[in-house]
Amino acid sequence: MNSNWFKLLMKIMKIDYGKNLLLKGLPVIFNKKGATLKLGSNVVIKSSFLSNLVGLYQRTIIVTRTSEAEIHIGDNVGISGATIYARKSIKIGKNTHIGGNAKILDNDFHPLEIEARNADDKEKIGTRPVVIGENCFIGCNSLILKGTVLEDGCVVGAGAVVSGYFEKNSVIAGNPARLIKKLQS
């Protein structure tokens, strides 16, 4: 399937995208009825093995899972084999680059409590919005967890597990991720 056919499918799913959307390979993009999924102009989504030589393990996956969910991806954003999965809200600012195999999740996927988990009670799934500012860089194989806020200019090191609030121009790395240094603006 070429990207023009896939863009037609995106329109049918009410996915709003700007000019010059570039799809390298075939992503998995799903917008739940009633949810909002918006991609800015000049967004590049890499989903084929050779589109990023860091070694992509999967195609890019972008999913709104509930009818209340929203994903907003700004202009000039690059995404490589990443997963962006929202039950509530994920916002990614313009000029941000998301490295190979990164995961951005605004929820726990399953309830933490045993009874709720065994009953598959979706209402008990922990969910908090994720906000990634403009001009950020998310390193390969990193994991951005629910409730994370990365202000403009943040850099996330490869393989980091990120949770919490990080000020503008922070360089963060590790598991759990912590501030390594501040960049000059």
How far apart, in whole angstroms, are the C-alpha atoms of residue 37 and residue 184? 33
Q: Does a cis peptide bond (omega within 30 degrees of 0) precede residue 176?
A: yes
Q: What's the whole-number average pLDDT of the chain?
A: 93
Contact at 8 Å (CB) between 15 and 39?
A: yes
Of the candidate ranges 31-40, 46-55, 112-121, the one whose mean pLDDT is the lowest: 46-55
Task: Report helix, strand or coil for 182.
Answer: strand
- For residue 127, the model assigns a pLDDT of 94
- For residue 53, the model assigns a pLDDT of 64
Average pLDDT over every residue of 42-69: 88
How far apart, in whole angstroms, are the C-alpha atoms of residue 1 and residue 17? 19
- For residue 57, the model assigns a pLDDT of 81
How far apart, in whole angstroms, are the C-alpha atoms of residue 102 and residue 61? 10
Distance of CA 87 to the CA centre of its chain: 12
Contact at 8 Å (CB) between 17 and 38?
A: yes
* Number of neighbouring beta carbons within 10 Å of residue 42: 17
Q: Give the type of residue at 163.
A: S
Element holding 114 (H helix, E strand): helix 114-118
What does the pLDDT look like over 84-121, one tens digit per residue? 999 999 999 999 999 999 999 999 988 888 888 888 88
Average pLDDT over every residue of 53-75: 92
Average pLDDT over every residue of 13-20: 94
How far apart, in whole angstroms, are the C-alpha atoms of residue 165 and residue 135? 16
Q: Which long-range contacts (CB under 8 A, 24 or more apart) does 108-115 make?
A: 108/146
* Residues, the chain: 185
Q: Which residues contact 115 (CB under 8 A, 6 or more apart)?
A: none
For a pLDDT cut of 90, what percent of the chain falls above it?
75
- For residue 112, the model assigns a pLDDT of 86
Task: Please check the confidence at residue 74 and state whether its pLDDT lies above 60.
Answer: yes
The label of the residue with tokens 């998301």 reads 98
- Catalytic residue numbers? 110
What does the pLDDT look like over 143-175, one tens digit per residue? 999 999 999 999 999 999 999 999 999 999 999
Instruction: Give the global pTM.
Output: 0.93
